[in-house]
Chains A and B, each alone.
Chain A
Amino acid sequence: MSSKTPSRLTIHELRSLIDKGEVHPRELLDDLLDEIARLNPTLQAYITVDPERLRAQLAERLRQEPRGKLFGIPITVKDNLCVQGEETTCASKILKGFVPPYHATSIERLIQEGAIIIPRANMDEFAFGSSTETSAFGVTKNPWDVNRVPGGSSGGAASAVAADLAIAALGTDTGGSIRQPASFCGVVGLKPTYGRVSRYGLIAFASSLDQIGPLTKDVTDCAWVLSIIAGQDPRDSTSAPVAVPDYVGFLKQGVKGLRFGVPQEYFPTEGIDPAVRAALEEAAQVLERLGMRRTGLSLPRTPSAVATYYIVATAEASSNLARYDGVQYGYRASANGSGSLMAMYERTRAEGFGPEAKRRIILGTYVLSRGYYDAYYLKGLKVRTLIKQDFDAAWTQCDVILTPTSPSAAFRIGEKLNDPLQMYLSDIFTISANLAGIPAISIPCGLTPDGTLPIGMQLLAAPFDEARLLRVAYAYEQATEWHLRKPELRVAS
């Protein structure tokens, strides 16, 4: 029996303890709520938490028959996943008070397995960001250093998992928003293949790039959650009719003989922290010691990825955000002065959206507008083809690809906020996986020299090859102890 309190355990550990009767779900939820009460005011991982509602939800779930794989286990969800009956705002003022009348498919699947849903994990507004600093409801802190960002846009979820304010979480990833916060917070984060998990109920940022994925304490939990949320959904035309393998069952298959590619473009001479480079080199050696073969690789279109992404993603975002206009739900600007419809639209959106959202709406609208479509959007879609082709070619040479998740460890709060382009450029290693639609995972692989901040490594695989990805990640994790390192949490005085 673990000496840790229940909130510090993983799903797979808790499953066993709950089934044996050694931990009761009520105990688990209470412990979690206590920790949240203690640390969330500092970390602001959650926008708000309603303990009474959660306890009522638990009571209801305990009556559910038959018992599912997540029976009694709370799962935290990012504030852009629709939870029926719960305020869901994408951390934006413009959706304040919006209560969806339906569950996202992923949420439904978790509930079917008996999970208790803890909503409102903080995020960058509408998932626009890499630091969770653009939320309209507060800045989330990195539990490893509260003066630093947890990464974004799933910063709340990552911070919560790292600080044991969540057992596991669902985040979303459009350009790295699960993986980068996972690496900044020292947890595991997976972006599935595009189409692996239903997007129904995910409040859209960029429809051709978004995916929902797990943020967890270890790779086993990641496989657990993925196996529950993956699979075709008739409500999502872009969800794939591909069978869901037994991800958990395949974890221990071993990795001897598998090849890992090391793309030169992801290890530039400049622009990557020496600590990150060193950690990745060590990780490569671990993989070799496990019996994997390293191969050199080139993904020549990598330098075009950020530009391509910021054209395609903002274009789709500007369109997806057009519906936030004060007509049917959410925020509507009050009619002082001109009571015209135009004024209502313009002021609602001016008052409801934050600066990053406005930036992306302007960019996206521009690249789609008459006269610019061909030069920007169409061009972007063509370069996207080339980026995807780089990866298609890569799979003939290797089974997985190893890269850093981020050029650096967590940066300081406020450090990049005033230079959007710099913020965008920090997504360089994660972005291509979204453009190509391939699965990618970030797992902890080291700490900065002073031992204060985690460093993450990223593994990429071919479409629908999550089983292989998880298996390599698992083998690495089990051969090292990075996943057992936890932040020293100090409550702000």
Chain B
Amino acid sequence: MSVVSQRDVQQVARLARLQLEEAELATLSSQVDDILTYVQQLQAVSTDHVEPTSHVITLANVVRPDQRQPCTNPEEILNIAPARHGQLVKVPKVLET
């Protein structure tokens, strides 16, 4: 009994902006299914009244003063961009507006 179907994996891939080929999808789905089946064993572990650990270190209130630090030279940033338009980074047009 599988935990995820190929369709599920395709949907997740969409969320993650990953295009998957047919062949890839089949293999990947099967592997992901195996792994998810394996991790389901955690359901059997009792965690009533157990707090989740998001941070394994007990630190709090780490802040920095509101003081300026040097900025990066714009050319350094724009030179590593795959596409630029003057002082801006260029991407294919966003269609939603």
Instruction: Report if A and B associate in a common complex.
Output: yes
CB pair A386–B9 under 8 Å, yes or no, is no
CB contact list, A351-404 vs B, under 8 A: 353, 355, 358-359, 361-363, 365-366, 369, 375-376, 378-386, 388
Residues of B within 8 A of A376 (CB): 39
Q: Main secondary structure on chain A at its contact with chain B? A: helix
Interface footprint category on B: 35 or more
Select which of A344, A355, A361 is within 8 A of B16 by beta carbon.
A361
Q: Is the CB of B39 within 8 A of A311?
A: yes
Q: Which residue of B lies closest to A351 (CB)?
A: B19
Chain A's closest residue to B50 (CB) is A382
Measured in the bound complex, the distance between the Cα atoms of B82 and A301 in whole Å is 47
Docked Cα-Cα span, A84 to B19, in Å, equals 32
State whether B57 touches A381 (Cβ < 8 A). Answer: no
Q: Mark interface residues in B31-62 (1 if CB within 8 Å of A CB, else 0).
A: 11011101111110101001111111101001
Whether the pair A335, B92 counts as a contact (CB closer than 8 A) is: yes
Cβ of A380 and Cβ of B42 under 8 Å apart? yes
Is A362 a contact of B13 with CB atoms below 8 Å?
A: yes
- Residue A479, interface by CB 8 Å: no
Of A329, A365, A424, the most chain B CB neighbours within 10 A belong to A365
Which chain A residue has the least Cβ–Cβ distance from B56? A437
**With A and B bound together, what is the CA distance between A330 and B31 in angstroms?**
28
Give 1 or 0 for each of A214-256: 1 = CB within 8 Å of chain B CB: 0000000000000000000010011011000000000000000
CB of B68 closer than 8 Å to a CB of A: no
Q: Is A304 an interface residue (CB 8 A)?
A: yes
In the complex, how many angstroms separate the beta carbon of B41 from the nearest chain A beta carbon?
6
A345 located at the interface, meaning its Cβ lies under 8 Å from any Cβ of chain B in the complex:
yes
A336 at the interface (CB under 8 A from B): no
Verify if A269 is at the interface (C-beta below 8 Å from B).
no
Q: Give the residues in chain B near A362, CB-CB below 8 Å.
A: 9, 12-13, 16, 18, 28, 32
Across the interface, name the chain A residue whose C-beta is closest to B76.
A101
Q: Which of B18, B34, B83 contacts A349 (CB 8 A)?
A: B18
Return B81 CB to nearest CB of chain A, in Å. 6
- Which of A208, A339, A365 is within 8 Å of B92, CB to CB? A339
In the complex, B20 has a CB within 8 A of chain A: yes
Take A358-B28, A382-B50 as given contacts and tell me if A194 and B57 are in contact as well, using a CB distance cutoff of 8 Å: yes
Q: A-contacting residues of B (Cβ < 8 Å)? A: 4, 8-9, 12-13, 15-21, 24, 28, 31-32, 34-36, 38-43, 45, 47, 50-57, 59, 62, 64, 72, 76-77, 80-83, 89, 91-95
A-B contact pairs, 13 of them (CB 8 A): A99-B80, A195-B59, A241-B59, A301-B45, A327-B82, A327-B91, A341-B93, A365-B12, A365-B15, A381-B54, A383-B42, A424-B35, A437-B56
Apart from A332-B83, A382-B53: 14 A-B pairs, beta carbons within 8 A: A208-B56, A237-B59, A238-B55, A326-B82, A331-B82, A335-B92, A340-B92, A346-B18, A350-B20, A358-B20, A361-B16, A366-B36, A385-B52, A424-B35
A-B CB proximity, top 4 nearest: A437-B56, A381-B52, A332-B82, A346-B19
